[in-house]
Structure 1
Amino acid sequence: MTSARISGPLVPELIRTLPTPELGLHLLASLAGEANISSNNVLRGFQSSFGGGYGGNPAEPDLDRLLQRIADAWAWLVSKGLIGPNPTQDQNWNRVTTEGRALAQDPAALLKLHGAERLAGPLDEALTRARTYFNLGDYETACFAAMKAVEVAVRDAAGLANGLTGTALMQQAFQPEKGPLTDTESERGEQVGMMSFFAGAFGAFRNPVGHRTVHFDDPMEATETAKPTDLVLGVVRRAKKGGEAGVERGKK
């Protein structure tokens, strides 16, 4: 699900009730058209408006709390790189960054930020392309690239032919008792589960984007598809090492 498009003034009730990230995006939308901004000017503007000094409005009884919430929202925007220094002004002036302007009126802005954060930590190097596509907003290609990385890693680790792909590749690589990546020391039910896990992932996620157009409008859904591949790749790497260790033991 995506959030509603942000619009309208920042009224006291919104400031009191919205979580800081959502409040931050409302503040961002109100600042996106300004060339030069500063935390001091923003806070003094709200202080004047809510303190009874703007348009004859009565003072808000919790003015200090309102200003603290605006300050928190500003700090959140800075921490996300949506507000940054203005390179043409002195250090007291800021601007809405390029990414900030792109997100200012995006109804999925918060979801995109959360999704990017989930992919921001250390990932298997094979997922570099997938993360790049995600950051560009091409979620379908990101998911395809993530699952393709798994396919390539499994084929390489198992030493299977290039013509073997998709679920058939997973089933052969992790075939119970004799698959090249099967942990033969584990209980058979675990072996079947691992084979089913890999084959199921490809049937559910890789095959649709490989064979037809899939529209990933929700960045979190795309993240939930791409992120687990990091775990899957870790399993493949360990299975490969285990197989190599077994070969070495057999030579002795």
Structure 2
Amino acid sequence: MTSARISGPLVPELIRTLPTPELGLHLLASLAGNANINSSNVLRGFETSYGGGYSGNPTEPDLDRLLQRIADAWAWLVSKGLIGPNPTQDQNWSRVTTEGRALAQDPAALLKLHGAERLAGPLDEALTRARTYFNLGDYETACFAAMKAVEVAVRDAAGLANGLTGTALMQQAFQPEKGPLTDTESERGEQVGMMSFFAGAFGAFRNPVGHRTVHFDDPMEAAEIIQTADLMLRIVRRAQKRNGDADA
């Protein structure tokens, strides 16, 4: 059994000032090259580095605080699934997980984690492909798939012809007063707003090639577009139930 080797201590000022998630990712990068790690070895390594070693004269006056912050960072990494049990060792040993190794040197790691958290809850079943593409890091295709799912759902729920596409489809489906998905019990201003919402969101995000208002390398923005699609689908399902579709 080999013990963990820390790739050099973190700068004390970073430990003092970084938010726990960012500190956690710095710690992750220092651990990624080790096959076996455990929290005790990590903490003792930092204690030795900043505690003056055998001299007994700490180089950092707030040593206890520094160790608490490292412990917090370790706990955060475990909670995010970036550090987990090592199946080849006993329960005292851990490993950097597969996802942790993928994120260890990724400058966008925190954004990817936050984006994934945005999509951690249930989504409409029609967004399964979009979520898969998002998890693969293909954010452009994920957004395209999400809005395509909205287009298909709107057309099916409204019973409109296959030749009707894009914003024209959204405008006809939610046309004030007489659109098949329009809530006729709502005020006209709300009806116009709903039609504009569907047409605007679809027009902005449906065609990534033609619309460059989105930064498709930004996982947070991609997650928010998928969430927008999920909201749109929820509204469509509600309209279906209002129209008597028991399967919606």
Q: CA deviation at 1:17?
A: 0.5
Q: In the aligned structure 1, how far is the partner of 2:196 from the partner of 2:4?
A: 39
> Which string of whole-angstrom CA distances, capped at 9 and with x for unpartnered residues, describes residues 12-39 of structure 1?
1110110000000000000001111000
Q: Supply the distance in 1 between the matched residues of 2:6 and 2:201 (Cα, whole angstroms).
A: 36
Percent identity over the alignment?
91
User: After superposition, where does 1:91-110 map in structure 2 within 5 Å?
Assistant: 91-110=91-110
Equivalent-residue separation in structure 1 for 2:116 and 2:15 (angstroms): 26
TM-score by length of 1: 0.89
Secondary structure in 1 matching 2:53: coil
Is there any run of 5+ residues in structure 2 with no aligned partner, and where? Answer: none
Residues 225, 2 of structure 1: CA spacing in aligned structure 2 closer, same or farther, 3 A cutoff?
farther
In the alignment, the residues of structure 2 paired with residue 243 and residue 69 of structure 1 have an alpha-carbon distance, to the nearest angstrom, of 56
Structure-2 residue corresponding to 1:145: 145
- 8 A Cα contact 1:49 1:57, kept in partner: no
Normalised by the length of structure 2, the TM-score is 0.90
Q: CA deviation at 1:55?
A: 9.4
Between stretches 91-100 and 103-112, larger displacement belongs to: 91-100
CA distance in 1, matches of 2:120, 2:98: 19
Check conservation: 1:29, 1:104, Cα contact below 8 A. yes
Residue ranges of structure 1 left out of the alignment (5+ in a row): 247-252
Is the alpha carbon distance of 1:244 and 1:100 closer, same or farther for their aligned partners in structure 2, counting shifts above 3 Å?
closer
Distance 2:148 2:37 in 1: 44
How far does the alpha carbon of each residue in 1:73-123 deviate from its partner, in whole angstroms, 9 at most, with x for none?
001001111011111111111111111011000000000000000001111
Shift of 1:131: 0.7
| C-alpha spacing 1:161/1:86, structure 2 compared with 1 (3 Å) | same
Q: Contact conserved, 2:175 with 2:195, CA < 8 A, in 1?
A: yes
Q: Distance in 1 between matches of 2:13 and 2:173?
A: 58
| Structure-2 change in CA distance of 1:174 and 1:69 (3 Å) | same
| Aligned CA-pair RMSD | 5.1
On the 8 A contact 2:16/2:69 being kept in 1, the answer is: yes
Q: Is the 8 A contact 1:6 1:107 kept in 2?
A: no
- Give, in whole Å, the separation in 1 of the partners of 2:2 and 2:90: 38
Shift of 1:59: 2.9
Aligned residues: 246
Q: Is the 8 A contact 1:144 1:209 kept in 2?
A: no
